[in-house]
Amino acid sequence: MFRTNTCGELRLANLGQKTTLAGWVQRSRKMGGMTFVDIRDRYGITQLVFNQDTNVALWEAANKLGREFVIQVTGVVAERSNKNLNIETGEIEILVSDLTVLNESKTPPFTIEDNTDGGDDIRMKYRYLDLRRNAVRYNLELRHAMAFETRRYLDKMNFLEVETPVLIGSTPEGARDFVVPSRMNPGEFYALPQSPQIFKQLLMVSGFDRYFQIVKCFRDEDLRADRQPEFTQIDCEMSFVEQEDVLQIFEGMVKHLFKYVKDIDFADAFPRMTWADAMKYYGSDKPDIRFDMKFVELKEEVSGHDFVVFDSVPYVAGICAKGCAAYTRKQIDELTEFVKRPQIGAKGLVYIRCEADGTYKSSVDKFYTNDDLKVIADKCDAKPGDLILILAGEMRKTQKALCELRLEMGARLGLRDKNVFAPLWVIDFPLFEWDEEVQRFFAMHHPFTSPKPEDIQYLDSDPGCVRANAYDMVVNGVELGGGSIRIHDSQLQNKMFELLGFTPEKAQAQFGFLMSAFQYGAPPHGGLAFGLDRFVSLFAGLDSIRDCIAFPKNNSGRDVMMDAPSVIDQSQLDELNLVIDIKN
């Protein structure tokens, strides 16, 4: 071992002790005949002292150390006169008697500090240096702890971690598969799993009873800021359970993680909200309930006042921003611009200021009397000093816009503290989602999701109203995970395929072996999957999942450090019986 202690370990209790440390030169300061060098490793930083009077040669060697040199030093632990109480080793320093340079370093292209001078591109190209920064390493330490505690909890609950294959058959699940040409089976391809969904259901058929896996999944999608072509799921499934059992077990898991990783205790049961209520009151299936500001539907109250904007639309709703009556014209204009941005898409914004004197001032004073506005304000539970913001239009689109406005107001009002966590189960999702474009129903979760038994009767007559035994775990407006009770009856499964437009042949081709498996005694089962990347981001207070992934890819799916993907040799293509043919 090149060291007797780590750079984060020594304290006043170690005074006088001889020690050997190894690590990187964080910085050095020459002050007259004394040179101070901070040596850093994963565990901390320790100050080294080199004294010209004690050993000139050693002092001169220390003066030649550059940033990020890898060094090994031996010395004695001494008390610092000038203590730094911000770091745990800040009361001691090492009086160095031996110095070995284990490796030199070129000057890094950016500073290895919490607040670095490196931009995103250069940090990604030199990711191995970026990972030296405490802020980045912390995210990965957190990730380790979360994965470990997840396993500890699930093991205790009798779940078995089973590895499912990465090279599988293509089973379209909505997104595009990555495929892998098979050399041994010319012209054929493996696919990389979008999730182990089918395998975990097979494991239930196999009687594994409780399965989990922390597993890489793959989707060849056009990437957004918080998507990666490969991502990690905590994938779980249980047999002989009803929805309530799944919610209990995994609420327990989330609480376990909060407790053992974040030291936060949730004594009470997590709140639950139906999907219908989530849409009605928050315009989202993943409401951020750190703050209230619920939607108030106002169509009835605003209608019949000759204001054509409100009269001509099916849906009018508002939110009440507490204490914002004093918003200036400029601030309200900003909000109007905010909702009119193409990605939000509202046509305009109506406001009502609830003045301190009990009167109202609105952008639609022409159409509504003070009494009319009071009716609206009362319905919104608005008090003097509050500001009501109203949007109108087609229902879903307007709910979505109002949701964004609500989140924006929450942020402006400081109601979205990253250190406050508000978990929520969203339940009773619709089984189907109507696609306007192709004019047919799609499975909202996936084709194996079980309808609520009491709603099965509407499968033919009114599929849109059929609710699923499906649930999502939402924290702070982030969907951490979701799942469902699965269909274990092959007749009902066939019915679902039919409703989803699968011909029997297509269903057979894609899911044939699963359907066969279900004929040999499938138990009732259900489960869910959490997105580990998002879960870690949430715990770390990050805006992007990229920062909690050791070697992420950029928005074009490239690893810029490794310069992957890349061209391959002609001989490899030949072996795989492939020819590249790039159209335009």
Q: Scan residues 88-107 and list those touching a copy of itself (CB under 8 A).
A: 102-106
Say whether residue 579 binds a copy of itself (CB under 8 A).
yes
Please tell me the number of Cα atoms within 13 Å of 286 on its side-chain side.
Answer: 12
Distance CA 451, CA 459 (A): 9
* Closer of 189 and 458 to a copy of itself (Cβ): 189
Three-class SS state of 167: coil
Q: Phi and psi dihedrals of 22, rounded to 5?
A: -140, 140
174 binds a copy of itself (CB under 8 A): no
User: Is residue 491 a contact point for a copy of itself (CB under 8 A)?
Assistant: no
Nearer to a copy of itself, 90 or 169 (CB): 169
Q: How far is CA 181 from CA 39, 227, 358, in A?
A: 49, 25, 72
> Residues with Cβ < 8 Å from 200, sequence gap 6 or more?
164, 211, 213, 235, 236, 237, 527
Sign, CA torsion 512/515/519/525: positive
**Alpha carbon distance 574, 240 (integer Å):** 50
Kindly indicate which of the ranges 361-369, 448-456, 478-486, 567-575 contains the residues binding a copy of itself, using the contact rule CB under 8 A: 567-575
In angstroms, the Cα distances linking 363 to 25, 53, 199, 332, 410 are 62, 78, 57, 10, 22
Closer residue to a copy of itself (CB): 386 or 547: 547
Give the footprint of a copy of itself on residues 297-356 (CB under 8 A): none
Q: Which pair of tokens denotes residue 529?
A: 């999957």
Q: How far is the CB of 2 from a copy of itself (least distance, A)?
A: 4
Residue 488 C-beta: closest distance to a copy of itself, Å? 6
Q: Is 565 in the site for a copy of itself (CB under 8 A)?
A: yes
Task: Determine how many CB atoms are found less than 10 A away from the CB of residue 118.
Answer: 19
Q: Considering the complex, what minimum distance in angstroms separates the CB of residue 238 from a copy of itself?
A: 9
Question: How near is the Cβ of 100 to a copy of itself at its closest, in Å?
Answer: 11
Q: Closest CB to a copy of itself among 12 and 102?
A: 102
Binders of a copy of itself among residues 21 to 50 (CB under 8 A) are 22-24, 40-43
Euclidean distance between CA atoms 63 and 30, whole angstroms: 7
Ramachandran sector of residue 16 (left: φ over 0; alpha: ψ -120 to 50; beta: rest): left
Number of residues that bind a copy of itself (CB under 8 A): 119
Question: What is the number of other CB atoms lying within 10 angstroms of the CB of residue 263?
Answer: 7
Name which of residues 499 to 518 contact a copy of itself (CB under 8 A): 513, 517
Q: Does residue 76 bind a copy of itself (CB under 8 A)?
A: no
Q: Which residues in the 177-236 window bind a copy of itself by CB under 8 A?
A: 177-192, 199, 202-203, 205-209, 216, 218, 220, 222, 229-230, 232
Token duo for residue 490? 């092959």
Least Å distance, CB 493 to a copy of itself, is: 12
| Interacting positions 112-171 with a copy of itself (CB under 8 A) | 126-129, 131-132, 137, 140-141, 143-144, 147-148, 151, 155, 160-170
Is residue 211 left, alpha or beta, with left meaning phi > 0 and alpha meaning psi from -120 to 50?
beta
**Residue whose CB is less far from a copy of itself, 222 or 268:** 222
Window 415-434: contact mask with a copy of itself (x via CB under 8 A): --------------------
Window 240-269: residues binding a copy of itself (CB under 8 A)? 240-242, 245
Cβ proximity to a copy of itself, 76 vs 147, nearer residue: 147
**Which residue number, 152 or 418, has a Cβ lying nearer to a copy of itself?**
152
Pick from 419, 439, 519, 570: which binds a copy of itself (CB under 8 A)? 519
Identity of the residue, 56 or 550, whose beta carbon is nearer to a copy of itself in the bound complex: 550
Per-position DSSP letters for 535-549, written without gaps between them: HHHHHHT-S-GGGGS
Q: What is the dihedral of CA 70, 75, 76, 79, to 10 degrees?
A: -50
**Least spacing, CB of residue 117 vs a copy of itself, in Å:** 16
Chain residues 535-564 in contact with a copy of itself, contact rule CB under 8 A: 549-551, 553, 556-559, 561-564
Which amino acid is it at 451? Answer: P
Minimum distance between the CB of residue 455 and a copy of itself, rounded to whole angstroms? 20
* Bridge partners of residue 230, in order along the sequence: 218
